[in-house]
Amino acid sequence: MSYLLHIDSSSLGEASVSRQVARSFRDRWQGPVVHRDLAVSPVPHLTAAGVTARDTDPARLTPEQTKAQALQDELIDEFLGAGAYLFTVPLYNLSMPSVFKAWLDQILVMGRTFTHTGASPAAGRPALVISARGGSYGPGAPREGMDHLVPTLEAVLGHEDLLGLDVTTVTPELTMAPDAPALAHLLPLHEASMTAAHARADALATDFGARRAA
């Protein structure tokens, strides 16, 4: 039976808005879940041993390559075994947390998770990216165009020549409004964004579950 693979990367634990919205999805989800919390148990960044092990005769692997390859095999098997994905990836300094980038670098392996020919084994599977941010980066906002997380993840996770997932993104915004006096006037917009994000996550869990059962 396939499962939901939930990859968490927020450093804030239960205080994380991204995790809170993900909980709305998880509370509605019906089925098994494999949860990997990269903030608690980060995977190592990709090394030369990990890169070279991919094209080395197994009989000639060094101990370092063998260890690196074993980790990649574990993460890739976990990724490919899932039927749906939940990625909790807050916006840190205009991009993704480094622990999530490390995970991506470990699972993106030519010939295993993608081929550049639109034949990814995971192609078409539903994926939800939840990415909270302290401000606003949408059309008309002062920081419009400075979000370098969502476009990157939608490309890496969703492009047909890469992982090919069917990606939906939910971005609860203005999370600093409750605590930053300068943003107090934006609190109603933050609250509306949160309400919409929780509702969307709840609805997507039902949709993903129906697609998984079909």
Count of structural domains, the chain: 1
Residue 8, domain CATH: 3.40.50.360
Output the pLDDT for position 115. Answer: 86
SS3 state at 152: helix
Return all residues near 175 (Cβ < 8 A) that are at least 6 apart: 17, 132, 133, 134, 190
For 55-78, b where at least 16 C-beta lie within 10 A, e where not — what string?
eeeeeebeeebeebbeebeebbee
Containing domain of residue 55, as a range?
A: 3-213
Rounded distance between C-alpha atoms, residue 186 and residue 52, angstroms:
50
Full pLDDT tens readout for the chain, 214 residues:
589 999 999 999 989 999 999 999 999 999 999 999 999 999 999 999 999 999 999 999 999 999 999 999 999 999 999 999 999 999 999 999 999 999 999 999 999 999 877 779 999 999 999 999 999 998 888 888 999 999 999 999 999 899 999 999 999 999 999 989 988 999 999 999 999 999 999 999 999 988 876 6
What pLDDT is recorded for position 197?
A: 97
Q: Which two tokens stand for residue 27?
A: 């509370």
Q: Phi/psi of residue 89, each to 5°?
A: -135, 90
Do strands 3-8 and 82-88 pair parallel, antiparallel, or not at all (unpaired)? Answer: parallel
Residue 214: predicted pLDDT: 65
In the prediction, which pLDDT does 201 show? 97
The helix, strand and coil proportions of the chain, stated in percent and rounded to the nearest 5, come to: 45, 15, 40
Task: Quickly count: other Cβ atoms within 10 Å of residue 119's Cβ.
Answer: 11
pLDDT (0 to 100) of residue 141? 86
pLDDT at 178: 94
Distances (CA, A) of 31 to 37, 123, 169, 213: 19, 21, 21, 10
Both tokens of residue 89?
A: 């990836």
